Amino acid sequence: MAWFRISFAEKAFLRLLAARGLSVETMTVDEGVTAMIDFYTQHRAQHTRLDDDGDGLLVQWSPGRLDVARQMIRSGSDDSPVMQLSLTFTVNAALPAAGSEWHFDPTASIVVPRFFTGSPVSTILTYEAA
């Protein structure tokens, strides 16, 4: 199991992409979603507590947009910001009504909706306080 500091989550994820020969600008939705799920299941954020939902994965969609976000909360302090590393795809495919799914167990199987696929119109990686 690999570990990273919450403040370096974006750099850790970009290293994972580079190791796979991927870049944010050119990857498909399938590649990005797989990478983000692997980042969640195989890389732990230091100082988070899984049993307090301190490290979770959110899969969400709305018209023209697919998003996979990792949310991390440092344990031990009530004033710690909620940090979110989000991979957002703009797509020109028809999507169902807006929805979302939370995952808080990295050992459980994560199944994303079938429409999380294809080549995006654009892709953005952001890391900020939620």
Are 87 and 98 in contact by the 8 Å Cβ rule? The answer is no
Give 10-residue mean pLDDT values along the chain (130 residues).
Answer: 82 96 97 97 80 84 96 76 92 93 93 95 93
pLDDT of 72: 82
Q: How far is CA 1 from CA 21, 39, 41, 57, 112, in A?
A: 21, 10, 9, 17, 23
Residue-range domain boundaries for the chain: 2-129
CA 107 to chain centre: 16
CA 129 to chain centre: 14
